[in-house]
Chains A and B, each alone.
Chain A
Amino acid sequence: MTDDPDLRSVREFHQRRPGAAPGALDRVRRRVQTATAAPHAPRLLPRWAAPAAAAAVVAAVVGGVALLGAVDRGTPQPGGPTGVPARSANTAPEGADPLWLKYGAAVPVPTVFAQLDQAAAGAALAAPRPGELLCSHATVLTRPGPSPAPGSAPATAQAQVHCFEPEGLLEVPAPDPAEVKGQSAAERLAAARDGFAAAGPGWGYPTAAWLATLPTDPDLLLAGFRAGTRSPAEIDDLTRWQQYGRFLARVDPLLPAAQRAAFHRLLGRLDGLTAAEAFTVSGKRLYAVRLTSGTIADELLFEPNTGRLAGHVELTGPAPVNSLTASPGPGVGEPVPVRQELWKYVSQPAATWAVPSATARR
């Protein structure tokens, strides 16, 4: 390989960048081994509620509690006594970050989806007005590894804001005065608009009108979903679950109740589902529907009052788990959440996307 000065400079520049975190290689190895040891297909770690194009961290916060408080305005208190086994609280050790969800009573999955359908049918979608963007405000909590222990690296909280044009759900890049040659925010958006104009509404560029035309029959919806996402007919349930969740997270603010219910039917067909109440740090009550596959568990969080998707949790665990029936003691046989996202979509005038306070909530 050539050792010209310019290439050597790049190589040395790269070597001087921040190095891997302590123990990073072992953490990654463990994650890969855990995932590939699952009885189903290896999973691809998802990045929820972020566009496929590019996910940008708009602001990072140390005090994630503040944003959680802004996102969650519920008041119920967690963990009321019930007659059914409760999913044990997340298994973070004593002293771990309190931002992780607390789990409450188990709820039958069909009951959850029925309640969500009912709630969605009674809740009108607040369509953005002309000139408004759809903005997702997310709080993301991550843990560096599946086996937290006292003294281990702390969980990391981030606030992320992404704004989208409602038509085609095109991400509007955060304003950045320091343009890169040929890659300004405006030009990136223009390129996305060109792509939308060329392809039209569809699975890649959903619009409210197009979503309203989706079949409400689950079988027809599944056929369309497979075709639209080029997904093979035979696919393991965990992957299918992730596909549905990813799509729902993207289109949630625009999805009509009937089509939402059809997706719930598809979700409900998958094996390995359990459901429970879950409570945010501010006490807001959610439904956590979990699909467990081997040592991997993946949760979607729903708002009981609106039927809408409210977040996502990735968990990994030491052993196959069915906490809702086995009711293990806290920390025994339970998967540990390694990534938790809570999000909320709001409509906001496009002009405010350029205002720093709208992009950096600290």
Chain B
Amino acid sequence: MSMLHLMAEPRRSLPDVADLFDSHGAELLRYCTGRVGPTVAEDVVADTFLIAHQRRHRLADGPARAWLYGIASNLLRRHRRSETRALRALARTGRDLDLTDIADGAAARADASALTRRLAAVLAALPARQRDVLLLYAVAELGYEEIARTLDIPLGSVQSALHRARVKLRAALAADPAAHASPDGGSR
């Protein structure tokens, strides 16, 4: 859907979005920050709730939490390249990239563990849908059906994408047996 189409949603009389934000804002901000960094995440989450406010008449179709993740996932797609670039940078250098943070631009960041770098490489290499499904399942802890509704794809596609992503993930982890013994992957 193009930006123009997104802007074309008709106006409706809507209730306050404050309750939705209070219930899910912090969680969504954490999720989006982990994907696209703190600066972009603020924009994405703000847009998510504005769209939610605009389309709140659709809320009856399902639980609010999954619905909000769906909106956020759509918005995150616009930042796919920068997300992938940051993951690649993390995989390559062991440092998280935050090009937009000028105040802290020179601040050194602790090196990531080998496991973290490997996971970053795996996530960077995943096709977009597989990455979305994996993160919604593992991080947002949505169920198959919720993810299917969230991403507007068939249930079978969710299962297939998750299976493929996990195969790659397990292969990467298998290369680092210590990861299984110590899932926290060490300190950053």
Q: Which residues of A pack against B, CB within 8 Å?
A: 1, 5-21, 24-25, 27-29, 31-33, 35-36, 40-47, 52-57, 59-60, 62, 142, 144, 153-154, 156-158, 173, 176, 178, 180-183, 203-204, 229-232, 234-236, 239, 242-243, 246-247
State the interface size on chain B (CB cutoff 8 A): 82
Q: Does B57 contact A (CB under 8 A)?
A: no
Q: Decide if A60 touches B99 in the complex (CB within 8 Å).
A: yes
Q: Does B124 contact A (CB under 8 A)?
A: yes
Contact with B54, one of A12, A42, A232, A242 (Cβ below 8 angstroms): A42
Q: Decide if B26 touches A14 in the complex (CB within 8 Å).
A: no
- CB-nearest residue of chain B to A229: B4
Measured between alpha carbons, how far is A44 from B184 in the docked complex, in Å? Answer: 38
Known: A17-B33, A24-B38. 6 other contacts (CB 8 A): A7-B138, A9-B115, A18-B38, A18-B98, A20-B41, A21-B38
Q: Decide if B184 touches A12 in the complex (CB within 8 Å).
A: yes
- CB-nearest residue of chain B to A64: B102
Q: Does B125 contact A (CB under 8 A)?
A: yes
Task: Give 18 CB contacts A-B under 8 Å.
Answer: A7-B138, A11-B139, A13-B116, A15-B34, A16-B188, A24-B41, A29-B21, A32-B53, A35-B50, A40-B11, A42-B50, A54-B80, A57-B100, A183-B128, A229-B2, A229-B8, A231-B8, A247-B4
Measured between alpha carbons, how far is A178 from B31 in the docked complex, in Å? Answer: 26
| Given A9-B169, A16-B188, A44:B51 Cβ within 8 A | yes
Q: Looking at B14, B46, B170, which has the most chain A CB atoms within 10 Å of its CB?
A: B46
Contacts of B99 in A (CB 8 A): 57, 59-60, 158
Q: Decide if B102 touches A154 in the complex (CB within 8 Å).
A: yes
Contact with A36, one of B3, B50, B102, B170 (Cβ below 8 angstroms): B50
Distance between B82 CB and nearest chain A CB, rounded to angstroms:
6
Q: Decide if A5 touches B184 in the complex (CB within 8 Å).
A: no
Q: Fill in one digit per residue for B100-135: 1 if any A CB lies within 8 Å of its CB, else 0.
A: 111101000100100110011001110110000011
Q: Decide if A54 touches B38 in the complex (CB within 8 Å).
A: no
Q: Decide if B125 touches A231 in the complex (CB within 8 Å).
A: no
Q: Is chain B's binding surface mostly helix, strand, loop or mixed? A: helix
Q: Does B149 contact A (CB under 8 A)?
A: no
- CB-nearest residue of chain B to A144: B42
Measured between alpha carbons, how far is A31 from B146 in the docked complex, in Å? Answer: 28
Measured between alpha carbons, how far is A54 from B120 in the docked complex, in Å? Answer: 20
- CB-nearest residue of chain B to A36: B53
Measured between alpha carbons, how far is A17 from B96 in the docked complex, in Å? Answer: 7
9 closest cross-chain pairs (CB), A and B: A41-B11, A60-B99, A231-B8, A10-B138, A7-B138, A17-B34, A229-B4, A21-B38, A14-B34
Contacts of B79 in A (CB 8 A): 54-55
Q: Fill in one digit per residue for B53-89: 1 if any A CB lies within 8 Å of its CB, else 0.
A: 1100000000000000000000001111110110010
Distance between A206 CB and nearest chain B CB, rounded to angstroms:
12
Measured between alpha carbons, how far is A61 from B6 in the docked complex, in Å? Answer: 31
Measured between alpha carbons, how far is A9 from B124 in the docked complex, in Å? Answer: 15
Contacts of B103 in A (CB 8 A): 153-154, 156
| Given A10-B135, A55-B79, A173-B81, A31:B46 Cβ within 8 A | yes
Q: Looking at B16, B42, B103, B124, which has the most chain A CB atoms within 10 Å of its CB?
A: B42
Measured between alpha carbons, how far is A35 from B45 in the docked complex, in Å? Answer: 13
Measured between alpha carbons, how far is A5 from B181 in the docked complex, in Å? Answer: 9
Measured between alpha carbons, how far is A6 from B79 in the docked complex, in Å? Answer: 25
Measured between alpha carbons, how far is A55 from B44 in the docked complex, in Å? Answer: 13
Distance between A92 CB and nearest chain B CB, rounded to angstroms:
16
Distance between B143 CB and nearest chain A CB, rounded to angstroms:
8
Q: Decide if B102 touches A43 in the complex (CB within 8 Å).
A: no
Measured between alpha carbons, how far is A15 from B187 in the docked complex, in Å? Answer: 12
Distance between B83 CB and nearest chain A CB, rounded to angstroms:
10
Measured between alpha carbons, how far is A71 from B81 in the docked complex, in Å? Answer: 25
Q: Decide if A44 touches B38 in the complex (CB within 8 Å).
A: no
Q: Decide if A5 touches B180 in the complex (CB within 8 Å).
A: yes
Q: Decide if A42 touches B7 in the complex (CB within 8 Å).
A: no
- CB-nearest residue of chain B to A7: B138
- CB-nearest residue of chain B to A243: B7
Contacts of A43 in B (CB 8 A): 50
Q: Does B153 contact A (CB under 8 A)?
A: no
Q: Looking at B2, B26, B105, B135, which has the most chain A CB atoms within 10 Å of its CB?
A: B2
Q: Decide if B10 touches A60 in the complex (CB within 8 Å).
A: no
Q: Decide if A16 touches B116 in the complex (CB within 8 Å).
A: yes
